[in-house]
Structure 1
């Protein structure tokens, strides 16, 4: 009977955590990464040292569960990224994920050795464990808090966080092997090993992604099983890559990238299912990792761990970022933000279980230091990342407003997708006599009645429109059902321009502080760059104090016309420029 009671108690706790985790997703958008700390603390309290009193020290089980969870999370991250958004970001991201990891680990080792009384190689292992950013934490925080970064900066952060795990994992495993075998000469082993991990992982990930796309489109499964197949296949790709000494983390990310950029069936239910699974994976990982922590041992390493975390966040990470991004033309603000966006999450604690599994002498040092670094990073970055993005002007000043869209899978069909939109007042679709020629209206729901397009006539506010559209054009169709932005400007000057005008010309004419990296772009290119190629009327970009460029008209090729609006300070600056151009005296109203 006692075992039955224990089993039921375990089921009760697990079910309660799942329920709490599901409901906590409502708070994630407001609190971001610190919500995950709640589950980390729940794990600590449920553990042997807490009131829960559960004895749990199974590092092997934690490693296995963590591997599967991270595989699913990284696959989901790749699935949602568009290849077009990677333009100009791949090379700097790969520099950060390889050279940046090694450089960060080496810098951390310089302070970890004296603070923790470790040898040079042991200190290097501490640096390797905390060197990589956590893709799971990055993807979660950016999406949960609705942060819309500029395309290039956002792509660099996401690609780096998804691809720096191979270097960190290989470096950690290699150093553990060297320490357990008492070897001291690294030579070219690190470089060759990282290249092997990247090459094998990339090959398996890309081939596995194409194989999964083929399987989804060719095999008819009962309803609801496509998402299950995708999750299982993602874990399979991770396992195969790892067994062949490649990076399983890179493999699943690339597999997701392939799937997300190819026409596949049931993509809408797959992404919806992954939303739920990835959130539960986060919860499971943090609870399990929290149960491994001993508060007494953690307290013993608190001060040196705090010093290591402070050095990593304030010196190590920024130094590596500035060094790696120096050749790529990023502005000071962009490099500063990328430095600050180096979140550490479950990956670092997960890597810290490797020395424990290898029974490395003093392995508890690595685990407790990693836990402290992650805790500090999640609290500090979780509460400040959005504010830092806005302070440093790397977030969109007017992010894309959400569009309600319902996607319906058509069995046996991958060239067309059935999409439903609610029609609201003020959207371009309301009252429109014609939709784009690549979108076909098939039925309209109006007042509880189903109407044919001929019977319905133009769409009205309150309708639901069901359209057949190529999957690649769905985002283009969104702008037809997005409410137009109504902006009231008082005491402003407005100057219209066509989309082909260069930002450099605007900057020179009106004295606007346009970043050097964007001066060569046209207005149309700048808006396309910040919206992944899907600008909309009313979208704005801030260009200095009191000045914004606002989209007026968009066609299939991008921004057709825009207007430069100058509010009080900008207005006086622009007026002075116009007066100088026409030989009028400049009057300073101040």
Structure 2
């Protein structure tokens, strides 16, 4: 076998072991991503695998690309109607809350370690963002969800707080490398990056929907290639405009996921699988980059910093920034505890290595230790905390629809699901009495875990999920009619 074939064999085996480890994670109640890290560490130079790997440039480059695809998939799968009510408070926590967390952790590191204030703030900035993917993977493995608006709030907050962490990290590194740099332009730079990122994401997301619907590709597989290309285009184009590329790809995914376009369901499934591949690959390489023997000297520092982050910095930032919101103390406590650290902090920890910052290797090891500790301790106790606070809710098993509907670019119809609440005017009415507009039809009703094929005399019940086939321009009006109270 050639060296290349050995590389392919090793890569495939690592991916296979990681996929099998995801099954183990559900039994242990810890995030699967934590096990992906462990697999990488075991395969690395200090582990039984003995694979020599020390390439921070590759780790950083791959991490940026992987995060772009992960954030795009997160936006694509986010329901705008569910996150819209929590938009304001989530954005406050994902910006001001991240800033407060970075300040508090930075002060702690400065006081406890032999770090300057700027070096401490750099550690704080790197670990200031959270990872909801790890949170919800733990909840799903225990068949637990969160009540009320907590789930959409955490989805939006964690999906939108990475840009602020990236900006703070880059800004502090520039001050460490060039102590004479001016600070007065930083607030304007934040506003510019956020504004350009959001605007570019919205416009390019709309443009992506228009392009997919108008291009009429001959082969269905090319639509996946097209969206792959769009993600890279959105990130790089926004970065060239000095905007925040991560915010742009998330916003673009959010816009596209809440629009109608050709091959939508298959593309959502494709990007979900791609996001998993990116997460596995990224965590494997991050695990390879870590030397476990180098973590031993920072054990005490890492534990104390992780404890301060989990028990002081995150709760203070949550309660302070959400103090004027209607959220309860129990909800704020839950949000404080589910602030798991994921891939972003470890990727950001490679930035000081690349910039030649003093103590960069120690910072990387501290950050890795904090992420590992957070995922292990918080991740394993999230379901217990949700039950203790009375905020847990069972995950209702969704039966698979017995058919798939993929509208082509020539068709005007779209198949959507509408949940019927107890307050809906459609409850206890026959379908024929709903007087649906021409060109619309309720083709299926999901009721108590089963599917009902309806007729004109079928009664609509509270809790039903109706599968509505209608012309795209009529869907919003019909949805509003079905959801409006009598």
What TM bracket, shorter-length normalisation? Answer: 0.7 to 0.9
- Higher helix fraction (1 or 2): 2
Tell me, yes or no, if structure 1 residue 152 matches structure 2 residue 152.
no
Aligned to 1:570: none
Identify which range, 4-13 or 203-212, moves more after superposition.
4-13
Q: Is the 8 A contact 2:135 2:379 kept in 1?
A: no
Aligned to 2:167: 170
2:78 partner SS: coil
How many Å apart are 1:116 and its aligned residue? Answer: 2.4
Work out the CA distance in 2 between the residues paired with 1:441 and 1:336: 42
Aligned to 2:425: none
Aligned to 1:360: 357
Which one of the candidate residues 318, 321, 328 is aligned to 2:325?
328
How many Å apart are 1:23 and its aligned residue? Answer: 4.5
Q: Summarize the alignment of residues 265-304 of structure 1 with structure 2, pairs less than 5 Å apart.
A: 265-304=262-301
The 3 A distance-change label for structure 1 pair 207 and 145 is: farther
Q: Summarize the alignment of residues 51-90 of structure 1 with structure 2, pairs less than 5 Å apart.
A: 51-90=48-87
The 3 A distance-change label for structure 1 pair 289 and 335 is: same
Tell me, yes or no, if structure 1 residue 214 matches structure 2 residue 210.
yes
Tell me, yes or no, if structure 1 residue 259 matches structure 2 residue 185.
no
Which one of the candidate residues 232, 243, 248 is aligned to 1:246?
243
Which one of the candidate residues 458, 468, 482 is aligned to 1:556?
482
Aligned to 1:440: 441
Deviations 1:357-402 (A, max 9, x none): 1111210121011101110111122212222223223333x54441
Q: Is the 8 A contact 1:442 1:467 kept in 2?
A: yes
Tell me, yes or no, if structure 1 residue 342 matches structure 2 residue 268.
no
Alignment size in residue pairs: 458
Deviations 1:414-444 (A, max 9, x none): 6323689xxxxxxxxxxx986974753789x
Q: Is the 8 A contact 2:17 2:39 kept in 1?
A: no
1:417 partner SS: strand
Aligned to 2:447: none
TM-score between the two structures when normalised by the length of structure 2 = 0.85
Aligned to 1:106: 103
How many Å apart are 1:281 and its aligned residue? Answer: 1.1
1:148 partner SS: strand
Q: Is the 8 A contact 1:78 1:254 kept in 2?
A: yes
Gaps of 5+ in 2: 418-429, 445-452, 459-465
The 3 A distance-change label for structure 1 pair 251 and 32 is: farther
Tell me, yes or no, if structure 1 residue 192 matches structure 2 residue 193.
no
Q: Is the 8 A contact 1:138 1:161 kept in 2?
A: no
The 3 A distance-change label for structure 1 pair 372 and 401 is: same
The 3 A distance-change label for structure 1 pair 113 and 235 is: same
How many Å apart are 1:73 and its aligned residue? Answer: 1.1
Work out the CA distance in 2 between the residues paired with 1:152 and 1:419: 22
Work out the CA distance in 1 between the residues paired with 2:197 and 2:26: 33
Work out the CA distance in 2 between the residues paired with 1:267 and 1:184: 47
How many Å apart are 1:466 and its aligned residue? Answer: 9.9
The 3 A distance-change label for structure 1 pair 181 and 299 is: same
Deviations 1:75-125 (A, max 9, x none): 111112222212331121111111111111111122211332101111111
Q: CA RMSD in A?
A: 3.4
Gaps of 5+ in 1: 421-431, 444-451, 459-464, 478-532, 535-554, 561-590
Q: Is the 8 A contact 1:29 1:146 kept in 2?
A: no
How many Å apart are 1:30 and its aligned residue? Answer: 4.9
Work out the CA distance in 1 between the residues paired with 2:216 and 2:142: 37
Work out the CA distance in 2 between the residues paired with 1:268 and 1:248: 25
Deviations 1:136-172 (A, max 9, x none): 4346445565543334322222221111112111111
Q: Is the 8 A contact 1:166 1:194 kept in 2?
A: no
Which one of the candidate residues 88, 93, 97 is aligned to 1:91?
88
1:88 partner SS: helix
Aligned to 1:425: none
Task: State the structure with bigger RCO (CA 8 A, min sep 6), 1 or 2.
Answer: 2
Work out the CA distance in 2 between the residues paired with 1:346 and 1:365: 18
Work out the CA distance in 1 between the residues paired with 2:224 and 2:383: 32
Identify which range, 17-26 or 295-304, moves more after superposition.
17-26
Identify which range, 362-371 or 379-388, moves more after superposition.
379-388
The 3 A distance-change label for structure 1 pair 47 and 79 is: same
Tell me, yes or no, if structure 1 residue 201 matches structure 2 residue 127.
no
Work out the CA distance in 2 between the residues paired with 1:105 and 1:394: 28
TM-score between the two structures when normalised by the length of structure 1 = 0.70
Identify which range, 66-75 or 10-19, moves more after superposition.
10-19
Work out the CA distance in 1 between the residues paired with 2:304 and 2:359: 19
Work out the CA distance in 2 between the residues paired with 1:21 and 1:359: 32
Work out the CA distance in 2 between the residues paired with 1:440 and 1:248: 41
Work out the CA distance in 1 between the residues paired with 2:39 and 2:109: 29
Which one of the candidate residues 176, 180, 185 is aligned to 1:179?
176
2:261 partner SS: coil
The 3 A distance-change label for structure 1 pair 476 and 204 is: closer
How many Å apart are 1:556 and its aligned residue? Answer: 2.3
Q: Is the 8 A contact 1:73 1:136 kept in 2?
A: no
Deviations 1:46-93 (A, max 9, x none): 112222222211111111111111111111111122222123311211
